[in-house]
Amino acid sequence: MRIAVTGATGFIGQNLIRALALTGNEIIGLARHTSKIQSHPTNVRYMAADINDAESLPRTLQKVNVIYHLVGIIAETKELTFTGTVVTGTENIIAACKSAGVGKIIYLSALGTGSDAMGKYFRSKWEAEEKIRNSGLEYAIIRPSVVYGPGDRFINMLARMIKYFPVTPIPGSGRMRLQPIYVENLTALLVSILDSPGAWGKTLEIGGPEALEYRQMIAIIKKVLNRRRPNIYIPLRLMKLSAAVLESFMKPSPLTRDQIGMLSRDNICDNRELLNVIDIKLTRMENDLKEYLR
């Protein structure tokens, strides 16, 4: 079987490529820039591809049976927008699949996505999901909560902040709940979909085994790093104001109103529907962080 992966050089993409390589299938990693890739298994090859270049995509998908579509952005830049990258990019992937004869697509969305979702990030994910559901392709859509692991941006950013800042800023009350999932658990799930008929035609949510308040998550990272730092609680209204100012003159902004909005509400799910379809092991955040966080 020939399998393609968009966003192959990203955090989740790199981990998925490694997991897929172990299946013995032929893997094609698609990314805008492939020059930094130095070594890879013999059954993996990389091709330069831009999902905004619709005409060039079909040639990269010749004889592909399944495509994992992972491309996404968390904040807009001058070149990359939610509409252009997430929505139009997905339309281009669907068109390329049809042109090249690719019958199946597995899309990595995000927990919190829905028809009534707030913020441009989640709305763009919803629009992309709808494009896929109405495409006529066989599909599986996975919505993970926060994904962590070696090389991730979010948890590693928090770890650096805890190590080097005298205090730890906490958005709002810090009581908003997240359900972090280890990247190896997520990639195991994504690989398992290939042999799980019950996952196709569905939109499934997944998080780790624990729903953690933001402040609990911070406490776990401090414990693993053996750091004692006082917390400082910052009102969300003040954070949104700061984000609005930053967004007015910085692209990408280090802090956006969309991101503050994500931290103002719970991001948790019930794993039972997915686990009834795919049997995977979910590991606890504290145990995982002890393996790699220093």
Contact, 236 vs 169, CB < 8 A?
no
pLDDT tens by residue, 46-58 = 999 999 999 889 9
The answer on pLDDT for 39 being more than 80 is no
Q: Say whether pLDDT at 264 is over 90.
A: no
Domain spanning 2-147+181-207+267-283: CATH superfamily: NAD(P)-binding Rossmann-like Domain (3.40.50.720)
* 8-22, 32-46, 70-84, 269-283: segment of lowest average pLDDT: 32-46
CA–CA–CA angle 248, 52, 72 (5° rounding): 60
- What's the 3-state SS for 194-250? HHCHHHCCEEEEECCCCCEEHHHHHHHHHHHHCCCCCEEEECHHHHHHHHHHHHHHC
The reported pLDDT for the residue numbered 117 is: 85
Convert the pLDDT of each residue in 236-259 to its tens digit: 899 888 888 887 877 777 778 888
